[in-house]
Amino acid sequence: MIEQMRAEFGDSKDMVTEVLDNGFSRLELCFFPGMCDIVQVKDAILVPFSYRFDPDEFRRMLKTGLSFIESDEPKKWPEMLLKGCVLLQYEEKVYSFAAIRKMQKEPGNTEVEASLQGPQSSFTEDLDMNMYLLRLRYNVPSLTAEQLQKGELSGTRIMVVYDRLKVDGGSLDELHKRLDKIRPKLIQAAGQLAMFIGNTRFSMFPITLQTERPDRVAQLIQRGKIAILVDGSRFAVTLPVRFFDFMHAMDDDYEPYWMGRIIIFFRYLGMILSMTLPALYIAACSYNPEFFRVQLAFSIDGSRAAVPYPSFVEVFIMLFMIEALIESSIRLPRFVGSTAATVGGLILGQAAQQAGLVSSIMIIVTSVVAISNFVIPNSSFSYSIRALKYVFVLVATFYGMVGIIVAIFLIVVYLCHLRSFGQPYLAINLKRDQRQSQQSR
Amino acid sequence: MKRIVLALIACVLASGCGMKDIDKRFYVVTTGIDMTDNPEKPYRISLRLAITAARVESGSSRTEIQTVDAPSIAEGVRLLKSHVDKELEFGHCRMFILGKSLLEKATPETMSWFSRRRDIQMISYFGVGEPDALAVLKVEPKSERYPGNALFLSFGNEGTESPYTITTFLFDLVRKIKERGIDPILPIIRAHNRTYVIDKSVVANKQGQRLFLSAEETQLFKMTSADSSKSELVLPMEDGTRVVMYVSQIRTKVRISAGDAPTVRLKIKVSGVLEESAPELLEKDWHGLEQRMGQRFSKQVEELLVKLRDADADPYGFGLRYLAQHFGKDKEFKAWEASYPEAKFQVSTDVRITGPGVIR
Amino acid sequence: MNRYFYYHVFYIGMMNVMLFVPFILIQNRFNGAVSGILLSIAIGTVMSIGTIRSYRQFPEMGLPEILKRFMPPWLVAVMLYLSSLLWLGGAVIVTYTFSQTIGMFFNPDMNHYQFLLLVIVASVFAGSRSTRTVQFANEILFWLCLPFLVFILAKALTNPYMSWDAVRVVAGYVSEFPSFKVLAAATFFFTGYLNLTLFNRLFPANFRINHLWAIPLLGAFFGFVSFFIPIGLHGTVGVEQYVYVWSVTADSMFLKYGFIQRVLFLFLIMFTLLSLMFMMNVFHASMEYIKASHPRSKPQPEQVPVPKTNWLLCSVFGALCFLFSLWANQGRSQWATGAWLSVRFLFEIMSFILIVVLAIIEKRRAATRPHSPPSSASSGQ
C-alpha cells in the first residue's frame, strides 16, 4: 500500500509513510500529519499497537471501532488521505481511520450581519460545527440533510438541508437539477456555489441569500426554504428567496412589532434614495430645474455656480470617489483603514467643494447615497443596489426625470420577472393567493 | 439584464443631448408687461432675472432687469434672449405683473400667451402694477433672501397672510375671463420705497370696464368671498374709541331667489375675539355689541355689493351661483344678465364674540 | 385573486386621460356628456357583469381557448388577430399621446422620437414577459401609483378654488341626449373587465370574482372625477380650450409645502407609470393572442426564459407605434382616438354578445353530459 500511495502522490514530502513493527506483527501507516489530529492518531492507533498490544483486542478494535472503516478499493485511498484519514494496513487488510483535524472548536461571532439583541454566534468554516449549530436551533426529526461533493479539484463537502415536511418540492427538484449540472473546478466559498447554481452572471439581483446567522437559516428552513452549507465557508446559501428577504434583518423579529416596521420602512426609503438620488440630482440640474420648488432650485443653482463641468461629470467624479473609499476600507488592513477614511473624508468633505470642483449639494447627495446603502442588511443585495445606481445615473444623463421613472418601471418589471428556483422573486400577498386557490379547489 | 442594458445603451446612443445645466439658465422670477404709446410696438416686456449665489443671506438676493418693446409678448421674449448670455427659463416665474395701462386695453387674447406656454405654471400669481409694471419690478426688498421671493411669499400665504391681499392664479384668471356669470379680480401692487404694498384690487367686467376697489373694500370682498379669516371687524363707538375684533372664523352662504328682480341673500357668520376695546365694555352688553357689529358689517358689505352691481361687475360669481342653483342654461343666463342691474341684496351677519382676549 | 382583476379595472379606468376621453366629454359637456356618463354606467355594468358571469363557465381558459372549443381554427385566428389589432390601436395611441405630453412638459427641447424610443423599449421589454410576471408587476405598479392618485384627488377635492357652482351648472345639462361618440368615450371607463379574456387563464377553477358591486362604483368614480374636476377648476367655458385637459388641471393645484411645488409633476409621474403599465398589458395581451392563433399553441402563463417569439412580436408592436407617430400629429391623433374609441365600443358589444352565447351553449352541453367534467386547458402551476 505504501508504495502505491507514494507513487500516487509523487513522493510528496508532507506525507508520512511508516512501517511499524512491535515485534509481533507489522502495521503499515500512511497519513498527512498536517491534515490529521496527531493526538487522535496516537491514542487510537499508536498506543494500542505499541504499549498495550494484544492481537485479539487490536483486531477487534479495527473491526468494531466507529472511526475504523475497512476499505478494499485502492482507488478510494488517495481521496481518503486527502480528507484527513489515516490509512493503515494490518494483516493484509486496509483500514481507514478518520482523524480529521478540526480548526474550529466553537461557534464564531457574527461579523457581517451584526445584531443588537439577537444571538451573537455565527457559522464557522467547519461543516460539522455548522450542522451542530443548525440542529441546535432546529431540533426536529424532519430536518433532512443530503451530503454531496462538488468541485473537481477541491472536493468540497456540501450539505443540503431542509425540513422535508415543509419544503417546496418544485424548488428542491430544480436545485437538484442544477446541482447535477454544474461541474466547477474549485469551490471556495458559499457565494461561489450560489453563483454556479443561480445563473447570477446574467442577473442584476442575487436569487439566493447568503447568511452567516444560524438563527436566520433556521427561520428560513421553518418557512420551507432550503439551505446549503459548504465546508470551509462560514456562510450558508438559502433558497428560494424573495426580494423582501434581503431587506429583512434578524433584529426586526426580536424587537417590538411597530419599531421593527418603522425600521423596515426606513430601510426601503434608504434603498430608494441610494439608488435614485444621484440621478435625481442630474435630472434636477440639467433637465428639469422647474421640477423642484423655487427656493431649492435657486440653492442648487447657487451652489453649482463655481462648478466648471456638467452635472453628470460631477456626479461620476463624486461617485467614483465614494466607491473607491468604500472599496479601500473593505480591502485595506485595519491599521491603514482609518487613514483612508480620514483622507477620503477630508477630500470629499471640504476641499473639493472649496476648490469649486463639486457643488456642496453634490457632497450631501454623495454622503446620503453612501450611508443609505449601508442600511441594506444583506451585502450582496447592497452590491446590486450600488450597481443599479449607475443605470439610473446613465438614464438620467440622457433622459432626465422621465428616464428615472421609466427605469423604475423597468426594474419593477424585471424584479417581477425574476424567479428564484421557480418561486416568484417579487410578488406580494402570494401566500393568500395560494390559500385561496387551495380552498376553492 | 444584459438585454436591458443593451436596450438602454441603444436608447442612450440614439438620444442627442437635450440637457442644459441649471447654471446655464437664467431664471425669470417676475415678468412685467406694460403698454407703450408706440402703436408699432405696443407691448413693453420687462423681466426680472435671478442672479443666484452660493451663500444665502437676508438681503443678498440680486437681480437684473431687462426691458424691451415689441409688437407681441412672444416676440418680445424672443428678442430678450439676445440680451442675455444664458437660456431664459420661465419655469420658476410665478409672478406676472400687468401694467395698469395694459389692463385698460387688454383683450382676453393677450392672456393666451400665458396659458399656451408649457413652462408657465398655471399656478403663477397675477397682479396689476401701479403706476406701471416696470416700477414694481424695480423694487428690491431688503429682506429678500432668494430673488423674487418676497412676492411669492406675499401671495402664496406662506409668509404673510394679509387680509388685503387678493391672490389670483393664472388658471383662475383665465377661467373667470371666459366664464359666464363671474368676473376676474386682480390685486394691485404698488411700489413703496423698497417694499411692495398690496392692499387694493381691481375688478374687470366683461364689457371691458375696470372698477377699482379700495383697501377696505378689498378686505370686505376677501372676507366674504373666500371666507378668509385673520382679518378684523371694526366698530367705531360714540365716544370716538374703536372696538376691533379679530376674526378667527367667517362663513358666508349665498342664496339667490329667482324672479324678475333677483334677490341675493348673504348669510355671514363671524366669530372671533376682541383685540381692542374699552375696558369692561363686553361684560356690559355682550349681545348688543355683537349685534351692532353685525349690522355695521352687513351695511358695509351691502354698500360694496351695490357698488359692484352698479358697475355691472360680478367678482363674487352671483351669476354662476344663480345658474347652478336653478340648473340654468343659456336662456336663464340671459334673464340673469338683464335683471342683475336691478338685483336686491340682503345681508345678515351673525357675529359671535368668543371672548375679550387674554385680559378682561 | 380578486384584486388582480380590479387592478386592470383600475389602470384602464385611469387610462382615459391619455385617450382624450375627458377632452371628448368636455367638448360635449353641454350636449349630453353627463347623460352619456350615466348611461355608460348602466351599459358598462351590464357588459362587465355579464362577461364575468359567462367566463365562470370556462374556468382557467382565456378567450383563445374558449373560441377553439367552438370554432374552426381559421376563424379563431381571424378573430384573435382582429382583437389584438384593436388593443394595439389603443396602445399605439397612448404611446403617441404619452410621449407628446411628457415631451412637452418634461423636456421640450428634446426630439420626441427619442422619448418614443425610450417608452417603446420599456414596453417591449415589459410586454414580452410571461403572463404571471405581468400580473405581479401590475400589483406592484398599482401600489406605486395609488398614493399619487389619492393625493392628487384629495388636493383637487379640497381645493378652495374648485368651483362647485360650475360643476352644478354642467350637471344641469343632464337632460341632453348623448351622441354615439360620447357614449363610446364614456363606456371606456368600464373597459377594464376585458382583461379577463386573457387573465382568466390564471384564475383557478371555481374561483369567483367577488365584490362585483365595485365595478359600477369604480367606473362612475373615474367618469365623474375625470370629467368634473377639470370643469370645477377651469370653469364651464374656459375648460374647452385645453387639449391636455388633465395636465393643465393638475398644474392648477399646488403644494404649499414639499420639495415639489407643482402637482403637475406628481401627475406626470403617476401617468408615466400608468401608461407604461397599460402598454405592458396591451403588448402582452396582443402577443398572447397572436401566439394563441397558432392551432397547436398551448397557453403557458409561466415561461422562463422568455422565448424569442415574445421578443419578436413585441418588437413588431413597438415598430407599429413608431410608424403611427411618424404619421400622426395632434389633430390626426385626436381623430384616430375618437375613431378608435367608437370601434372599440362596437367591438365590445359584439364580443359581449358572443361570449354570452358561448356561455349558454357551454352550459347546455354541461347539462347534457353531467358526468364529464369540463376539460381544463390550463397548464396550471
Q: Would you say B120 and B114 are in contact if contact means Cβ atoms under 8 Å apart?
A: yes
DSSP state of A287: I
Asked if the structure places residue B14 within a domain, the reply is: no
Longest CA pairwise span in chain C (Å): 68
pLDDT exceeds 60 at position B11 = no
Asked if the structure places residue B51 within a domain, the reply is: yes
Residue finishing a domain among A51, A80, A98: A98
Please tell me the predicted confidence (pLDDT) of residue A437: 60
| Alpha carbon distances (Å) from C127 to A100, B2, B34, C1 | 56, 17, 54, 21
Q: Which residue of B has its CA nearest to A414?
A: B1
Asked if the structure places residue A432 within a domain, the reply is: no
Residue finishing a domain among A207, A241, A275: A241
Which is nearest to C55 in space by CA: C151, C193, C163?
C193
Q: Would you say A238 and A226 are in contact if contact means Cβ atoms under 8 Å apart?
A: yes
Pairing between strand B125-130 and B95-99? parallel
Assess whether A278 and A401 both reside in one domain.
Answer: yes
Asked if the structure places residue B13 within a domain, the reply is: no
**Listed range (A55-64, B36-45, B52-61, C320-329) with the worst mean pLDDT:** B52-61
Asked if the structure places residue B5 within a domain, the reply is: no
Contacts of residue C206, defined as CB under 8 A and 6 or more positions apart, other chains included, come to: A440, A441, C59
Assess whether B178 and B96 both reside in one domain.
Answer: yes
> Which residues does chain B have within 8 Å of residue C265's beta carbon, measured at their own beta carbons?
none
Pairing between strand B87-89 and B25-35? parallel
Asked if the structure places residue C201 within a domain, the reply is: yes
Asked if the structure places residue A431 within a domain, the reply is: no
B11·C111 Cβ contact <8 A: no
Please tell me the predicted confidence (pLDDT) of residue A13: 79
**Listed range (A379-388, B153-162, C201-210) with the worst mean pLDDT:** B153-162
Assess whether A401 and A344 both reside in one domain.
Answer: yes
B27·A360 Cβ contact <8 A: no
Between A172 and B239, residue with greater pLDDT: A172
CB-based contact, B219 to chain A, within 8 Å:
no
Assess whether B169 and B229 both reside in one domain.
Answer: no
Into how many domains does chain B fold? Answer: 2
ipTM above 0.95, yes or no: no
Identify residue C27 by its one-letter amino acid code.
Q
Of B122, B178, B317, the CB nearest to C237: B178
Asked if the structure places residue A200 within a domain, the reply is: yes
> Which residues does chain A have within 8 Å of residue C130's beta carbon, measured at their own beta carbons?
417
What average pLDDT does the segment A193-220 reach? 83
Assess whether B48 and B151 both reside in one domain.
Answer: yes
Q: Would you say B203 and B210 are in contact if contact means Cβ atoms under 8 Å apart?
A: yes
Into how many domains does chain A fold? Answer: 3
Asked if the structure places residue B246 within a domain, the reply is: yes
Highest mean pLDDT among A345-359, B13-27, B97-111, C147-161: C147-161
Into how many domains does chain C fold? Answer: 1
pLDDT exceeds 60 at position C370 = no
Asked if the structure places residue A435 within a domain, the reply is: no
Residue finishing a domain among A209, A241, A273: A241
Assess whether A90 and A189 both reside in one domain.
Answer: no
Asked if the structure places residue C301 within a domain, the reply is: yes
Assess whether A370 and A289 both reside in one domain.
Answer: yes
How far apart (Å, rounded) are the C-alpha atoms in residues A133 and A127? Answer: 10
Residue finishing a domain among B196, B213, B230: B213
pLDDT exceeds 60 at position B14 = no
| Alpha carbon distances (Å) from C33 to B153, B287, B354, C39, C156 | 41, 52, 48, 10, 21
Assess whether A274 and A167 both reside in one domain.
Answer: no
Identify residue C2 by its one-letter amino acid code.
N
Assess whether B333 and B192 both reside in one domain.
Answer: no
pLDDT exceeds 80 at position B46 = yes
User: What CATH number did the domain enclosing B332 receive?
Assistant: 3.30.300.210
How far apart (Å, rounded) are the C-alpha atoms in residues B242 and B354? Answer: 18
In whole angstroms, what separates CA A70 from the centre of its chain?
Answer: 37
| Alpha carbon distances (Å) from B345 to A38, B182, B298, C309 | 112, 17, 10, 75
pLDDT exceeds 70 at position C376 = no
Per the structure, the complete domain to which residue C267 belongs is given by 2-368
Assess whether B155 and B269 both reside in one domain.
Answer: no
Question: What is the b/e burial string over B10-35, where b = at least 16 CB atoms within 10 angstroms of the residue's CB?
Answer: ebbeebeebbbbbbebbbbbbbbbbb
User: What CATH number did the domain enclosing C143 receive?
Assistant: 1.20.1740
Please tell me the predicted confidence (pLDDT) of residue C378: 39
Assess whether B223 and B195 both reside in one domain.
Answer: no
How far apart (Å, rounded) are the C-alpha atoms in residues B92 and B29? Answer: 6
Assess whether A74 and A50 both reside in one domain.
Answer: yes
Asked if the structure places residue A329 within a domain, the reply is: yes
Secondary structure class of B29 (helix, strand, coil): strand
Assess whether A393 and A273 both reside in one domain.
Answer: yes
β-partners of residue A88 are A29, A95
User: Which residue has cell 392563433?
Assistant: C293
Assess whether B248 and B171 both reside in one domain.
Answer: no
Digit-coded pLDDT (tens) for A294-311: 878 888 888 887 888 888
Asked if the structure places residue C377 within a domain, the reply is: no
Report H helices in B164-276.
Answer: 170-178, 215-226
Assess whether B157 and B32 both reside in one domain.
Answer: yes
**A348 — pLDDT class (breaks 50, 70, 90):** low
Assess whether A268 and A390 both reside in one domain.
Answer: yes
Assess whether A404 and A380 both reside in one domain.
Answer: yes
Assess whether A9 and A70 both reside in one domain.
Answer: yes
Of A290, A298, A302, the CB nearest to B119: A290
Asked if the structure places residue C379 within a domain, the reply is: no
Please tell me the predicted confidence (pLDDT) of residue C381: 34
**A91 — pLDDT class (breaks 50, 70, 90):** confident
B175·C248 Cβ contact <8 A: no
pLDDT exceeds 60 at position C85 = yes
Per the structure, the complete domain to which residue B228 belongs is given by 216-360
Per the structure, the complete domain to which residue A79 belongs is given by 2-98
Assess whether A70 and A151 both reside in one domain.
Answer: no
Asked if the structure places residue B173 within a domain, the reply is: yes
C133·A417 Cβ contact <8 A: yes
Assess whether B198 and B65 both reside in one domain.
Answer: yes
| Alpha carbon distances (Å) from B150 to A320, B164, C90 | 40, 16, 48
In whole angstroms, what separates CA B141 from the centre of its chain?
Answer: 20
Which is nearest to B121 in space by CA: C233, C229, C261, C159?
C261
φ, ψ for residue A328 (rounded to 5)? -65, -35
Asked if the structure places residue B9 within a domain, the reply is: no
Please tell me the predicted confidence (pLDDT) of residue A161: 92
CB-based contact, A400 to chain C, within 8 Å:
yes
**Listed range (A430-439, B60-69, C118-127) with the worst mean pLDDT:** A430-439
Assess whether A119 and A59 both reside in one domain.
Answer: no
C-alpha cell at B250: 367667517
How far apart (Å, rounded) are the C-alpha atoms in residues A321 and A317? Answer: 6
Asked if the structure places residue B292 within a domain, the reply is: yes
Assess whether B97 and B142 both reside in one domain.
Answer: yes
